[in-house]
Each structure stands twice: as C-alpha cells, then as structure tokens.
Amino acid sequence: MNAPARFSDPALPRHDWTLQEVEALFELPFTELVFRAAEVHRRWFDPAEVQMSQLLSVKTGGCAEDCGYCSQSAHFDTGLKAGRLMEADLVVAEAARAKASGAQRFCMGAAWRELKDRDLPKLEAMISGVKALGLETCATLGMLTPPQARALKAAGLDYYNHNLDTGPEYYGTVVSTRTYDDRLKTLAAVRAEGISVCCGGIVGMGEGRADRAGLLHALATLPEHPDSLPVNALVPVEGTPLGDKVSAEGRIDGIEFVRTIAVARLVCPKAVVRLSAGRETMSRELQALCFLAGANSIFVGERLLTTPNPEMASDERLFADLGLRPMGSGAA
C-alpha cells in the first residue's frame, strides 16, 4: 500500500496528517519505509551524529499514578522503596560526571503525579546548576501549571518531557489516574512558556499497530511537533500489570519496532528521535537498523531512572563500528 502524500516534498513538516495516512506508512514494505525515513532524516540532520543524553531519577518511587508499566507506582509491589527529592548539589555533581562521560543533555525525573510548589526552589537550583555546566537541561516532573512552567523556564530549563505513552484508544488500558487531556494540557503549558517539548511514548505494552499509529498521529498533529521524540520499548518489571503481561506474551518484534522509529521520523521530520528504554536487550544489529531508520539520540549511563541501560563501553564500540559520533562533535 502506498502512503498518500499531500506535499511534493515529504521532508517538510506538516500538521494535518490523517490517522489513515499514518497507518498507511506502517503498511509500506519494510525496505521502502526505512529508505524514505533515511532520506528525510538526511534533510534535517547529519546521519552520522547521535545526541547523547543522560537521565537521573531525582525523586524515586511512591508515585500516586497507576501507570501499568511503571516500577515507581505506589499501586504495585515491585520492591522499590520511595525516596526523597535529592539535594541540588548532588544532582549537579551527577550532571558534571555525565558531561565528563560525553553527555550533551541532562534529564532529571521525579516520580510523582504533579509538581508541588514547595519543591520548586530545589528544582530551580538543580536546573540552574546543570545549565551552568553547559549542558542542555531537561526535566520530567509530571503535570505542571502555567506558573510552574514559567518558573522552570526562568531557572534555565530547555526541555520538558511529558509522554503521551500510547495512542488514545489504548490509553485507558495503561493508566486510569491521568487522562489524555491532562497530558495535552501540560504540553500546552510548557509550549506557552517557550520550553522545548520532549514527548513520545512506549511500545510493546500489548498494543496493536493501530495504537502505535494512533500515538504517532497524536504527536504529528500537535500545534508544534515535539522537538525531541523518545520511542521506548517496554522494559517488563515484575509486579507491574503490563510488565507481567508482556513477560508472558513476549516483547514487541524488532522489525515492528524499527517501523515505529521510521514512521516517527517521517511524520515529525525535524524532531530528534530518541532510541530510549529497552536498548539493553536490543542486538547491535537492531540498534543499527533504528539509526538507519532515523533515530538520532540515545540515553547513556548505566541506568534509566530504575531500569538498566547499556554500558558506555558497549555504546562506544557500537558507535565505532557504525561510524557514528556524538552530535556536534564535528567530522571525524
């Protein structure tokens, strides 16, 4: 099936994608889909460059949300103990180590439903301290109000991560304590303050291809495309509803995962598409296909919040073998 195109130049961003058009992209022959995505990627990015980000859990566990994939939810018994919000100086020290290891962006994540005003001063100190190191700053702190977004922007926040998780039709299977509209309102508050949006989702949660198309359609029809678009493969965590389900039924097929990366590149052509959670179980060959299909960012460091991540030495070997280099480092 051929995906219809309304514009002569498929690399130009558009916001009027129909769900049927996105579904048609998924149905393209695999090699044709990856070829198209690779062409679009080259229009906006150097295909040999990959952005390196590092993620730190600045407040772990005890979250009131019931996201069915999450080890940090207070609703599930995963053996994870809740902690307090870290002190700003400890976070800045972690960011300095991340920069020394090659990270270009430092992301701070807190496990709670929404940001409380009482925590703003400490978070502002974290953000300003990380920004002073010369790193891009990113935070994922749950739902925000417009004044809170304004305060984070003033502190030096470059990116705010708030994922849609999945398509709107499957969303109720994943979480019941926060609506799709709640998530969209937070994205609107962030955009209104001039903070760049980092927004994507998780695949391999038992959803179908139509749900993956629904997620990417929702992202492609936002008022502005996400500046950063993470595509996570579910890391099954024992004790979580979706983790137990996926462990029994099997993870998402690798070819289907690459299709999702490629469609993300096509419908949000200027976004930095991040190959996020799940890399530690992906083969080198699968990761290489993802980079070919348009992924151009990864998380580095040994952990992503509470789940494992490939070792830096492994990533360095992969980059060397593929001829890739950190974004902005210049030609080898």
Catalytic positions are 63, 67, 70, 107, 138, 198, 274
**Contacts of residue 69, Cβ cutoff 8 Å, sequence gap at least 6:** 174, 202, 205, 234, 237, 240, 242, 243
CA distance 193 to 148: 10
- Closest C-alpha to 200, from 111, 144, 274: 274
SS3 label, residue 224: coil
- Closest C-alpha to 256, from 291, 209, 224: 209
CA distance 2 to 311: 40
Helical spans, DSSP H, in 137-179: 146-155, 171-174
SS3 label, residue 63: strand
Residue 44 has φ and ψ, to the nearest 5°, of -115, -15
The residues with which 108 forms a beta bridge, in sequence order, are 56, 139
**Burial annotation 107-127 (CB, 10 A radius, 16+ → b, else e):** bbbbbbeebeeebbebbbbbb
Q: Is residue 112 a contact partner of residue 64, using CB atoms and an 8 Å limit?
A: yes
The helices-and-strands tally (H runs, E runs) of the chain is 12, 12
